[in-house]
Structure 1
Amino acid sequence: MSVTPREPAIRPFSFEFPEAELEELRRRIAAARWPEQETVADQSQGTQLATVQELARYWASEYDWRKVEAKLKALPHFITEIDGLDIHFIHVRSQHEDALPLIVTHGWPGSVVEQLKIIDPLVDPTAHGGSASDAFHVVIPSMPGYGFSGKPTTTGWGPERIARAWGELMKRLGYTKYAAQGGDWGAIVTDFMGVQEPEGLVGIHTNMAGVVPSGIDAALIAGNPLPAGLTLSDEEKAAVEQLDFVYRHVYFAYLMGSRPQSLTALADSPVGLAAFMLDHDAASLDMIARAFAGQAEGLTRDDVLDNLTLFWLTNTAISAARLYAENTNSFFGVKGVNLPVAVSVFPDEMYQAPKSWAEQAYPNLVHYNRVARGGHFAAWEQPELLVEEVRAGLRSLR
């Protein structure tokens, strides 16, 4: 007699962080040992001392984790084992009958906190300037090693494997037609979902397009001259200059990609964790520094600390960093997606993907738009704009 294997269970998930853990966090912040001030007047040596000291002061004396904790707890959380690893996800279904399921993937140094502002507008568009035909059922997983998901104990959890796991997750949830969206690592995972074409995936939306031609990408990564004979438009030349700067300055990626375990201090010092994670890209660091200097724009002080505190409480600085060591792909290069793709280009992204490259990289490009403002963390910084782009970009795929 044969026995049919049982489908792995999808289990409700809850979390609780005792006050003692928050008290210990504040104690560690207060006990920070500070270096001397940087010897330059800008961010060229990294996160400036004044920014980190103001962040630490606010984190230890005014910040209230319980506010974002309440927002998180108000959402339906689940966990399920996929490929031997527990995967946590938020799953919010729309009341609208014809809603399109959408799996949204965060990046580094992010978490599901990045997407909190876009959930309601996507799920309940009629309450947020849209129509019922714009509705989505939203699935937001924590990537392996991030947030509430399990931490891999062996190598092999790169973006391709995560993409396969997301396809399995959507199948397990019973979705036979769905789309995918992402930025940062989420964009790379989403691109690979587009490459793998799991059953039911009808298209993707990206706010960090992987469209750089292979010859240009390889030359810039190596710091070599571009291939001979290239004729570039002004838009393409601007993208090349931006990419050249990025590849020369993403030191965090090189460090995590080669020596993640050597960053153990990030698990021991909340101030060290903050100083490292704030230094993602120049525009984002400038914006965050302005926030801690008292200017309200894009991310707020609480936004930044909501995410940092989740990293601290879940002790995921090192497990998250290992994703860089697992990756063998270009961040911005062409992956080979043939499904329908929608691209949104934010002006302060690390590079502005030219439409000409997007048309070559994504032969089924159904939407391309340059938006007015916003940067790398689009869902977090400019949720209204990103929601508008997701609605418009995926509308033809319903």
Structure 2
Amino acid sequence: MTDGGTEDVWRREVPHVLAALQRRGVALEDCEDAVQETLLAAAVQWPREGMPTNPRGWLIRVASRRLIDAQRSDAARPRRELQTEQDRTATWSQRVDDHDDSLQMLVLCCHPALTTASAVALTLRAVGGLTTRQIAAGLLVPESTAAQRVSRAKATLRSAGARFEPVPPEQLPARLHAVRHVLHLIFTTGSSLPSGSTVIDRTLTDDAIRITERLHRAVPRDPETAGLLALMLLVDARAATRVNDGRLVPLAEQDRAAWDAAQIDRAVLLLEEALPRGRVGPFQLQAAIAAVHATAAAFADTDWPQILELYRMLLTVAPSAAVELGAAIALSEVEGPEAGLAALEPLAAARPRDHRVIAARAHMLETLARPEAAVAFRQAAALTDSIPEQNYLNVKAGHA
């Protein structure tokens, strides 16, 4: 076992060690094997001899030796020449003042040849420094599934000839889009776990915020990246109030005095700086919605007409079932639950087993004092694998 400080060092340095090995032109899977062996060696030596004064240098040196040994022992694996020529175009790495290798690793993990599921798993391993067990726990999949996703991702990168190298400027927008999507998926998974006895996985949310912070430093004038970071900070600012003794606390009942005011202020500033820079994208709009909620002094003071307008804008930019649901809820607050129920009808027909849609309908029926509310709450509870959500919805059914 290791102490928290050592684990923090490992997770912080893993992307840099992987990057150092990747510059040799070696496949990511081989580099990752060498790094894992090095971490095992560190787990034995560091507690006994103390943490090196330069942990990154120690890890790179030992991992390099392990990689060379592995290459020598495998005669079937051809040697790749060390890449020495620098790309003179305006590259990703040139956008980073301190050349953060984790960003290059992030772009590699979001290679267009990978599926989203594989990219998420590989990002958590190569950039987040999580173990296969931690990835499986965070994504709520069996450990074997997480291992397969990571292994499949590395094999796909090998087949695609992907290398640790600068991304051409013309490819950067598409890559950034994929990177943001993966980071958002990691954060949303961690902030609202779809199953199990807990609601939030701090490992996933903290990693998503940490990596997005690095991404924002690399492209500080990219408005969508700023919007994504603002969105994460706003949601995370109220994390401590979302659960009380294992019980879900709805937004209307959360203690707003306990929200992280400094984090909210920073997120709002990020958003204010990003919005005038160009086309407003979905992450900026989602952050704007979260900011309206976060800056209301009380739930009753929420500017629901503004939220409804933002959702309507979001529907034109990035339509989805989640956005339709949010718009219907906002409409019910502005025009009344009858209007909200009418807006929910096509979504409920299209997604008859979506517990969030059914739960929203139940809340609107409850507001109207309709007897069907209890049935809807129980139906929603039966369709979710989240124990806190089940408990909350069943309690609501008993009171409806």
TM superposition score category, shorter chain reference: under 0.3
**What TM-score does the superposition give when structure 2 sets the normalisation length?**
0.26
**What TM-score does the superposition give when structure 1 sets the normalisation length?**
0.26
Higher relative contact order by CA 8 Å / sep ≥ 6: 1 or 2?
A: 1
More helix by share: 2
Q: Which protein has the larger Cα radius of gyration, Structure 1 or Structure 2?
A: 2
